[in-house]
Each structure stands twice: as structure tokens, then as C-alpha cells.
């Protein structure tokens, strides 16, 4: 069943992201029991800031649904997708007008201030989502890609699906048919890591 992520009439939790100046609203959509990888909608209020430099040991992937969010000098606007590998440093995160994102973490996100002892093994990627966005890597299960049409057959692996034009989202168990969402679709598989 599809969920419209742009609606306000869903349950929200108020959470303060470590190192930030005020709480965000968060709605968890899915948690993988073995890995604790999780997917949530995050609503950043206007003027939100995280001036602290730091990193997560897990990968983060987010799609901006509304507004904009600046991370390490890169401004991500509605429709943009970003992938930050484990230990990718974040500097000066902020939004002036507010932002709504769909955010994925490959494990529970634990913020560490400062620079990591071991840097990320590849650079972050960001921009308009198109084609294959990432493949499974050590520490980051599954993959993520944009499809231009709804797949005809059932899902091979567990996945979540986001309609980029409408921000409708659905969880699809392995073996189940894909929902009839408007393409292009951002499809994230939740298979085990490489």
C-alpha cells in the first residue's frame, strides 16, 4: 500500500539530531531487523542548523522531497538525491526555508564529532537521480536505482519504492508485485551487503 509522504496527517516524533540547534520531526517507515538499517521521513524546520563537523559510521542516502538542505557546502534541492558513504564528513549542515527528506541509513546512525580516524573509502555522490545510484558494498547492503517504468514482474528482493514526481512511497516484500506508482521510480533493495 502506498503512502503519500507529503501529507501532514501522519504520526511524527520530535527528535534532536546530534550537534544541531533544534529538533526535527521524524516518521520512521521501515527498519531491517538484522542490520537495523532504517528509512524515515525527516522534516527540518526553517532555520535548522548543525554547525558541528562530524560523521556517521554508516552510510546515509537521502532524497529531497521539498525545500533544500545544505551539507558540506552542497545545496540539495527538491528532487535531488545524495549518497554519503560510511565516515563521510559533514560540515555546516543547514536549511533556511525548511526541508522534507526521505532518508536511509545502512545501520543505526550514531553521530561522532570531528574527523574519522579512517576516512570514507569513496566520495559522496549527489545530484538528480538517474540510472544506478549505488550497488551493494561492504557495510552497505542493497542497491539503489531509478527505473523509468513500473517493473512487470514481482520484486526479486525486499525493496522500497518512491515515485519521484508524486512522493508516494511503498514497501514491497520479495515476491510481491510492484505498486502502480507514477515513474520515474527510485527503487532501493534491502538485500544483504556485498
Return the pLDDT at 83: 97
Distance CA 47, CA 114 (A): 23
Distance CA 121, CA 85 (A): 8
Return the pLDDT at 9: 78
Distance CA 108, CA 32 (A): 10
> Does residue 78 share a domain with residue 162?
no
Model confidence pTM above 0.85: yes
Return the pLDDT at 156: 92
> Does residue 137 share a domain with residue 102?
no
> Does residue 92 share a domain with residue 185?
no
Return the pLDDT at 193: 56
Residue 42's Cβ-count burial label (10 Å; 0-12, 13-18, 19+) is buried
Distance CA 5, CA 117 (A): 37
> Does residue 84 share a domain with residue 25?
yes
> Does residue 62 share a domain with residue 157?
no
Structural domain count of the chain: 2
> Does residue 137 share a domain with residue 104?
no
Q: Cell 541509513 belongs to which residue?
A: 105
Structural domain for 32, as ranges: 7-113
Return the pLDDT at 138: 81
Question: Which residues of the chain register pLDDT less than 70?
Answer: 192-194
> Does residue 91 share a domain with residue 170?
no
Write the pLDDT tens digit of every residue in 110-156. 999 999 999 999 999 999 999 999 998 887 889 999 999 999 999 99
Amino acid at each position: 500500500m502506498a503512502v503519500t509522504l507529503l501529507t501532514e496527517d501522519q504520526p511524527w516524533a520530535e527528535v534532536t539530531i546530534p550537534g544541531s540547534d533544534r529538533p526535527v520531526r521524524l516518521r520512521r517507515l521501515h527498519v531491517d531487523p538484522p542490520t537495523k538499517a532504517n528509512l524515515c521521513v525527516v522534516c527540518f524546520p526553517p532555520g535548522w542548523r548543525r554547525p558541528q563537523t562530524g560523521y556517521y559510521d554508516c552510510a546515509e542516502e537521502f532524497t529531497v522531497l521539498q525545500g533544500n538542505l545544505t551539507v558540506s557546502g552542497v545545496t540539495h534541492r527538491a528532487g535531488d538525491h545524495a549518497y554519503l558513504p560510511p565516515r563521510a564528513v559533514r560540515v555546516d549542515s543547514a536549511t533556511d526555508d525548511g526541508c522534507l527528506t526521505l532518508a536511509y541509513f545502512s545501520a543505526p546512525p550514531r553521530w561522532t564529532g570531528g574527523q574519522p580516524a579512517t576516512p570514507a573509502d569513496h566520495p559522496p555522490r549527489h545530484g538528480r537521480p538517474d540510472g544506478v545510484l549505488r550497488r551493494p558494498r561492504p557495510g552497505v547492503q542493497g542497491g539503489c536505482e531509478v527505473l523509468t517504468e513500473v517493473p512487470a514482474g514481482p520484486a526479486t528482493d525486499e525493496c522500497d519504492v518512491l515515485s519521484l514526481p508524486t512522493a508516494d512511497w511503498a514497501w514491497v516484500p520479495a515476491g510481491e508485485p510492484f505498486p502502480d506508482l507514477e515513474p520515474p521510480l527510485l527503487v532501493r533493495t534491502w538485500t544483504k551487503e556485498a
